[in-house]
Amino acid sequence: MTQIIKSILNQGERIGWRALLMQGLVTYSQPLYQRWFRKQQVPWNISTKQLLNYPMHSLGRELGEFLKKYNFSLMAQFESHDVFHVLLGYKPAVLDEARMQYCLLGSGRRSLYTLGTCLIASLIYPDFLLDFKHHYQRGCGLENFSYWDFEAMLSMDIGQVIL
């Protein structure tokens, strides 16, 4: 079961055709995106258990708590994605994934994955366009942090990781 399906079930989100379509698109596009666009990204090779050994209130510990709460593990070469959830406070549910990508777009992230997710979410959830605009505007108030070296920041107090 993929992490997004787990998150839908964890959040009690009503599984409608739109959520299933978004989940399917992510499931099939992620390996392709990883192979073509993330091949130079070095995996962190760190477990949830190791993250939970970081000091309280550190980025690493908060990331470990997030992963534990949702019964996830870090996906190789996509570790920063879960850090975005921790720093921005978005839950791993379909609509929150779209909201987070809009926020990242607003902050300056211009990856194919972010742009594609925003475009597809806009087409599938046209009734949420004003909501997505709000999250985009939230991102406009942030600096572009999407290329920070989060692995090097795991021991930092989360309060020092200012967005």
For the chain, what is the total number of helices (H) and then of strands (E)? 8, 0
How far, in Å, CA of 75 to CA of 136, rounded?
25
pTM: 0.81
Give the whole-angstrom CA distance, residue 130 versus residue 132. Answer: 5
Tell me the pLDDT tens digit for each residue of 96-154.
999 999 999 999 999 888 998 999 999 999 999 999 999 999 999 999 998 899 999 99
CA distance linking residue 19 with residue 43, whole number of Å: 29
| Domain locations in the chain as residue ranges | 3-160
Report the C-alpha gap between 75 and 163 in whole angstroms: 23
- Residue of 98, 97, 105, 116 lying closest to 139 (CA atoms): 105
Residue 108 C-beta-side C-alpha neighbours within 13 Å: 9
Half-sphere exposure of 112 (CA within 13 A, CB side): 9
Residue 10 and residue 163: Cα distance in Å, rounded?
27
Look at 73 and 89; give whichever has higher pLDDT: 89
pLDDT per position as a tens digit, 77-109? 788 889 999 999 999 888 999 999 999 999 999
